[in-house]
Amino acid sequence: MSSTELHSIVVPMFNESPVAEEFIKRATAALASLPDYEIIVIDDGSKDDTFAIVSALADHDPHLKLVRFARNFGHQTATTAGIDLAGGDTVTVIDADLQDPPELIPKMIELWRGGTDIVFAVRESRAGESAFKTATAAAYYRLLRRTAQVDIPLDTADFRLMSRKATEGLKAMRERSRYMRGLVGWMGLNRASITYHRDPRFAGETKYPLRKMAKLATDGILSFSTSPLRIATWLGVASAALGFLVALSAVLTKLTGGYAVPGWASTIVAVLFVGGMQLITLGVIGAYIGRVYDEVRNRPLYLIESVRGFDQDTADHFAHSPLPNLRDPS
C-alpha cells in the first residue's frame, strides 16, 4: 500500500445542520486507516447553521475542506464542484444524511486497488422509504436503461467511488442539465459494485421531495435519450390515424342511412385529440430546445463564495474569482 495515496470524499450539504457534525464524526472514524484523505464539504447555499458547524470543525481537522456556494445551485451541481476540486487518487461521492454508510468507503477503495475505475454502491434494502418511492424508483431506472441505453446499475444512487481516470473523464462533461448517475454510467470503464443495506435518514428532512425527484428523473431521460421525440412522432401518427377512422365512420354512417349531427364528431375529435397531441409534441420539443438554450448561454455551472482548508493557490484563486477552478490537481 503506497503512502502517497490520497482519497477524496465529496459531500454536498444543503441545510444539514442536524446531521453535519455526526456525519463528519463517523466519516473521520471510517477513514482513519487510510494513508491520507480529504473530506470536501460543499455548502450548497444553506440557510441554517451548516456552514458554521462545518467551519468550526475544519478549524481543528486538517483533512476537512469546505466550499461555500454563492447561492443554492442544486445537489448535482454541488457534487460537480466537489469533484472539480478533489485532488485524490480516488473520489467518492456520498450524501451527508447517513443513509449511505461512510464505513463502506475503505472496502470500495480495496476494489479500486484491484484495478476498478468505478465502484457502485448497490442498495439491497431501503429502510425508511415508502413503498411508492421504492417502486417508482425501480420502474424509472429500468425505463432509463431501456430507452437511453446508459449502463446504470439498478438500485444505485450517488454513492460511488471513482478513480482519477474516471474523475478526469467526468470533469470533461460540462453540460448544464446534470444527471450525474447517467454521466458516470455513460463513461463505461472498469466497474464493480458492492452491496449494502441503506439506513433511514439520521436527522432532518429529505432534500429530494417529489417535485425535485420528478425534475431529476426528467433530466435523466432528456439528457440521455431521444425517445420522447420518437414518441411525439408516433403520437402524430396516431392522431392522423384517428382522424382517418373518424372520417371513415362518417362515410359509413352516411352510406348506411344513419343520422349524425353534421360535423359534430369530427370537430370534437379534431379539437380535443389533435390539439392535445400538438401541445404534447410542442412541450417535448420545447424541453429539448430549453436545454440547447441553456448550453448556448454558456454560463458557469456554479459560483463559489469562499473556500477553507485548500492549498494556497486554490485559496488565492477564489479570493479573487468565484468561477470554477479546473486546474489539474496534480
**Rama region for 98: left / alpha / beta (φ>0; ψ in -120 to 50; rest):** left
CATH label of the domain that carries residue 86: 3.90.550.10
25 part of a folded domain: yes
pLDDT in tens, 303-318: 999 888 888 888 888 8
Residue 3: pLDDT over 60: no
pLDDT digits (tens, 9 = 90+) for 194-228: 888 876 665 556 655 566 666 666 666 666 666 67
pLDDT bracket for residue 330 (50, 70, 90): very low
List pLDDT tens digits, range 34-51: 989 999 999 988 888 899
Total domains, the chain: 2
Q: 287-294: which pairs have CB atoms within 8 A and are 24 or more residues apart?
A: 287/218, 287/222, 287/228, 288/222, 288/228, 288/229, 291/176, 291/177, 291/222, 291/223, 294/176, 294/177
Q: Which of 225, 249, 264 is the C-terminal boundary of a domain?
A: 225
Question: At residue 74, does pLDDT exceed 80?
Answer: yes
Residues 23 and 52 sit within 8 Å (Cβ to Cβ): no
274 and 135 in a common domain:
no
Amino acid, single-letter form, for residue 325: N
298 contacts 324 by C-beta, under 8 angstroms: no
Least trusted range by pLDDT, from 97-101, 187-191, 267-271: 267-271
Between 284 and 109, name the one with better pLDDT. 109
Separation between Cα atoms, residue 255 and residue 250, nearest integer Å:
9
Strands 191-198 and 118-126 come out as parallel
Is there a single domain that holds both residue 119 and residue 243? no
- Say if residue 133 is in the same domain as residue 215: yes
Could you tell me if 155 and 255 lie in one domain? Answer: no
- CA-CA-CA-CA torsion sign (282, 284, 289, 294): positive
Determine the Cα angle at 138 with ends 133 and 144, to 5°: 120
Give the structural domain span for 187.
7-225
What residues pair up with 41 in beta bridges, in sequence order? 11, 66
